[in-house]
Amino acid sequence: MSQKVKYTSSEHLITRQANAEKEFLAQFEENKYTIDNPFVVQNPYLINPLCALILFHTPRETAPTVTVCGKRFEREDLRHTFAADTFHKLPVLGLYEDFANRVIISLPDGTEKEIVIQTAKLPQDVCRCLNIMTSADYMQDNFMFLTPAGKNLPTAYDYKGDIRWLLTENTMFDIKRAANGNLLTGSSRFCRMPYNSTGLVELDMLGKIYKEYRLPGNYHHDQFEMEDGNLLVLTQDFHRETVEDMCVLIDRNTGEILKQWDYTTFLPQDVAGSGSQDAHDWFHNNSVWYDKATHSLTFSGRHQDAIVNIDFDSGKLNWIIGDPEGWPQDMVQKYFFTPVGDVANFDWQYEQHAALICPNGDVMCFDNGQYRAKKKENYIKNRDNFSRGVRYRIDTEKMEIEQVWQYGKERGQEFFSPYICNVEFYEEGHYMVHSGGIGFKDGYAADMLGPFLDAKDPAVALRSVTVEEKDGTVLYELETEGNFYRAEKLSIYHHGENLCFGPGKLLGRLDVTPEFDTVPDAEPVDAQPDAWHNIVIEEDEDRMVFHGRFERGTLAMICLENDKESHHYFLNTSASWHLAMCSGAFLEDDDRDIKMNISKEGLKGKFAVKIIINDKKFDTGVSFFCP
Amino acid sequence: MIQEIDTQTYDQLDKSGPMLVEFYSKTCGPCKMLAFVLRDIDKTLPDFKMYTIDYDENQELKERLGVKGFPTILLMKDGREMDRLAGLKQKPVIKKAIEDIL
């Protein structure tokens, strides 16, 4: 049989990182490394080319300081002092790319050691800063972390717009710093189209993953860390017809699901649809926020133009912020607000993202404004539209709402993002507004979302603009290439443990991949499918991802077979059109290229992978082992 | 019993009792799969009337019946639509929908 099917088997990144750590620690043990002769390993956890790790011993406990010298002058130096110890493991973060970085290790007794770490050039297609307006005084030691909305990479920019942190893994959606200093963001592992990944990962700034929290319904869009460390994560149930309409609370240590909220229990699914709604993705939940003061959860539902608040314990609806047009009258009377105050300048939010509750109970969100109407005949074209950050004050007794702040409306289409984005509340009067989904075609706001635009077309430009405003003055504005899902301003070091050794953990579980119970008649052939099908089978520790190219309308099915049993998975080769595409990370250039994830959950033994293509059953020659 | 029909035959059908009408396209993978599913169901319900109609060749009929895509299954009783299944469905879902109109 000639080899036309490609097969790869790789360990989970957690395993590869554990092996790499074991290896460099073994090398470190081979010699006696001191501050004069420290052990240096660049990119120790394989996915952050702008970092290094320095290891050495001192005879007595001491608290070393690492200084990553600025490119231009001392004012730009990044400095962090670590806890006193005799064994020192010092992450060196925020290196400049393609540069001989001066790094100084100093001890309280005045001992200093300077080393030079030469970094390589970053991949050509990283998204560069195009413009930045801020100051070192304003940004201090913070970088702006942007998470990708496509095949671009998670990237952080300093006050000059230089890239100082980048992961070569396409982790996605929200990024937040947990109370322990680690980052929480979406896994890069594909599970289901359009953008569902296996779960959530907890990692440090070096890129070391401590935990991956897998979810049967996968992860999308957002998460929130509770005070006790447990995590609220947005998910869904793929065994039913609708998506992006569930939230779960997971145990931080075990990944076990402790509680879940199903939005179909408190919202009608067939009313007040936004311009992007369909029956499948009726709500399109893109954010979750827990408010301790009211013990409630707030969800943003893009496809109902609604911000919804429910009681944490009972799951009962408290209120809805949104244009009431199209909602049942009894719901409007009970749950919706009436605008008060400067109503002439009041606007409802449409297809919004990232709703949050301010300390005083106000509600903020990024109002994308897509369509900016409930009825089709009133839809606003993107080029005539605007996006903004908005803050509403709500009175839940009188059911009144007042718009108390907005930023962005005045910028019109140049700040318009029809999808993604977020806002941040820092303190009274101090906010961030991230418009990361800007797309232009022929100089106007494009009619399509960024992932569907051809970035190679000279008439197309994808942009991300992040603004910070304090007391009405813009103190920060970053414009980059590409589209970025969210922005988060973070210091690269934190006051907790910046690195812990030991293998990461794969927690939770994927679901059993649904099978198809009818098997079409197909003649077995002793051959692999034609090379045109470009079949690639990637095996991982807990799943297999099948890639293949099929003409539209092809009947295709994956069959896992051994002597005792067989399992069948239907491959949909029809053209599919997604009304929402918050991350284009998994989109293929050729829409005949399709992929399917098959979890090892529920499977045991060794299976031959076969593929039915129309009336023939081909043997891929690949076997798939499920422990 | 599964029978391929066109608009003219559909209009002339005796629509009394329960029946299933499926709109399919020759260019649709899920429709091809659904043909095998219906064939399996037919083995267990040989007296139940099932009709397949080419979506692309019967534009006026699909518009008259409000069919917006393929595959679409209409479950009908005495000429009235009782239920509708859009997209490829597995045997238990279709069987349940049939049982509901029997």
Give residues 38 to 77 of B whose Cβ lies within 8 Å of A: 40
Q: Name chain A contacts of B26, Cβ cutoff 8 Å.
A: 553
| Active-site residue flag, B73 | no
CB A355 within 8 A of CB A392: no
| Set of chain B residues whose Cβ sits within 8 Å of the Cβ of A554 | 29
Q: Is the pLDDT of residue A579 over 70?
A: no
Closest-CA residue to A213 (of A506, A449, A456, A452):
A506
Q: Which domains does chain A have, with CATH numbers?
A: 31-118 (2.60.40.3100), 129-508 (2.120.10.30), 512-626 (2.60.40)
Q: What is the DSSP letter of A46?
A: S
The total of other beta-carbon atoms located within 10 Å of residue A101's CB is 20
Selection from A42, A88, A92 nearest residue A69 by Cα: A92
Q: What integer pLDDT is reported at residue A72 of this predicted model?
A: 94
What is the DSSP-derived secondary structure letter of residue B65?
Answer: T
Nearest Cα residue in chain B from A613: B29
Average pLDDT over residues A176-199: 92
Q: How far from A391 is each of A16, A322, A339, A470, B59, CA to CA, in Å?
A: 44, 13, 13, 14, 50
Q: Does A521 touch chain B (CB under 8 A)?
A: yes
**Contact in structure between A81 and A63 (CB atoms under 8 Å):** yes
Average pLDDT over residues B78-101: 94
Please report the pLDDT score of residue A191 as a whole number.
Answer: 82
**Does position B21 have pLDDT exceeding 90, yes or no?**
yes
Please provide the average confidence, as pLDDT, over all residues in chain A. Answer: 95
Cα distances (Å, whole numbers) of residue A508 to A402, A458, A513, A601: 42, 45, 15, 11
Q: Is the pLDDT of residue A286 over 60?
A: yes
Q: What does residue A14 show for φ and ψ, rounded to 5 degrees?
A: -60, -45
Number of Cβ pairs < 8 A linking chain A and chain B: 44
Choose from A242, A519, A555 for mutation: most chain B CBs within 10 A: A555
Cβ atoms of residues A230 and A251 within 8 Å: yes
* B47-79 residue pLDDT tens: 999 999 999 999 999 999 999 889 999 999 999
> Is B86 a known active-site residue?
no
> Which of A538, A620, A608 minimizes the C-alpha distance to A12?
A538
Among residues B2, B5, B13, B28, the one annotated as catalytic is B28
> Which chain B residues touch A570 with a CB distance below 8 Å?
30, 33, 88
| pLDDT range class, residue A241, cuts 50, 70, 90 | confident
- Tens of pLDDT, residues A351-382: 999 999 999 999 999 999 999 999 999 999 99
Hey, are the CB atoms on A553 and B26 less than 8 Å from each other? yes
Reported as a pLDDT band with limits 50, 70 and 90, residue B100 is very high
Q: Classify B2-92 by CATH class.
A: alpha beta
A620, A609 Cβ separation under 8 angstroms: yes
What are the φ/ψ torsions at residue A412 (nearest 5 degrees)?
Answer: 60, -145
Give the residue-averaged pLDDT of A458-467. 97
How far, in Å, CA of A349 to CA of A320, rounded? 12
| Residue B27 pLDDT class (50, 70, 90 cuts) | confident
Q: Which band of pLDDT confidence, cut at 50, 70 and 90, is reported for residue A2?
A: low
DSSP-based three-state secondary structure for A263: helix
With a cut of 80, say whether residue A560 has pLDDT above it: yes
Task: Quote the ipTM score.
Answer: 0.90
Position A192 scores a pLDDT of 84
Residue A609 has pLDDT above 60, yes or no: yes
Q: Which residues of A touch B25 (CB under 8 A)?
A: 553
Rounded to an integer, what distance in angstroms lies between the CA atom of residue A222 and that of residue A610?
37
C-beta atoms of B36 and A553 within 8 A: no
Give the minimum alpha-carbon distance from B12 to chain A in angstroms, rounded to a whole number.
31
Label residue A590 by pLDDT band (50, 70, 90).
Answer: confident
Q: Write out pLDDT tens, residues A197-219.
A: 999 999 999 999 999 999 999 99
Query: What does the block give as tokens for A136?
Result: 């070192």
Element (H, E) at A331: helix A329-335
Alpha-carbon gap: A217 to the closest alpha carbon of chain B (Å): 20
Q: What is the 3-state secondary structure (H, E, C) of A494-533?
A: CCCCCCCCCCCEEEECCCCCCCCCCCCCCEEECCCCCHHH
Mutate to test the interface with A, among B24, B25, B31, B32 (most CBs of A within 10 A): B32
**Residues 6 or more apart in contact with residue A22 via CB below 8 angstroms:** none
Provide, as residue numbers in chain B, all residues whose Cβ is less than 8 Å from the Cβ of A520: 32-33, 36
Q: Which helix (H) or strand (E) holds A75?
A: none
- Geometric angle at alpha carbon A222, from A462 and A271, rounded to 5°: 90
Q: Is residue A572 less than 8 Å (CB to CB) from chain B?
A: yes
Contact A279, A270 (CB under 8 A): yes
Long-range pairs for A232-237 at CB < 8 Å and ≥24 separation?
A232/A288, A232/A290, A232/A297, A233/A199, A233/A200, A233/A288, A234/A285, A234/A286, A234/A287, A234/A288, A236/A196, A237/A262
Residue A552 has pLDDT above 80, yes or no: yes
| Residue A608 CB partners (closer than 8 Å, separation 6+) | A560, A561, A562, A619, A620, A622, A623, A624
Q: Kindly indicate the confidence band of residue A1, based on its pLDDT and cuts at 50, 70 and 90.
A: low
Residues in chain A with CB shorter than 8 Å from the CB of B90 are: 516-518
Cβ-count burial A543-557 (b if 16+ within 10 Å, e if not)? bbbbbbbbeebbbbb
Given the residues B31, B73, B74, B76, select the one marked as catalytic: B31
In A66-169, which ranges are continuous DSSP H helix? 136-139
Nearest to B28 among A518, A553, A614 (CB): A553
Cβ contact A518–B40 (<8 Å): yes
- What is residue A577's predicted lDDT score, i.e. its pLDDT? 64
Instruction: Give the helix ranges, DSSP H, for A376-483.
Output: none
* Helix (H) / strand (E) containing B48: none
- pLDDT of A625 > 60? The answer is yes
Nearest CB among A516, A520, A554 relative to B90 is that of A516
Residues of B in contact with A516 (CB under 8 A): 33, 90
Question: What's the Rg (C-alpha) of chain B?
Answer: 12
By mean pLDDT, which of A71-75, A232-236, B26-30 is the weakest? B26-30
Mutate to test the interface with B, among A518, A569, A572 (most CBs of B within 10 A): A518
Angstrom distance (rounded) from CA A486 to CA A154: 10
- Per-domain residue ranges of chain B: 2-92
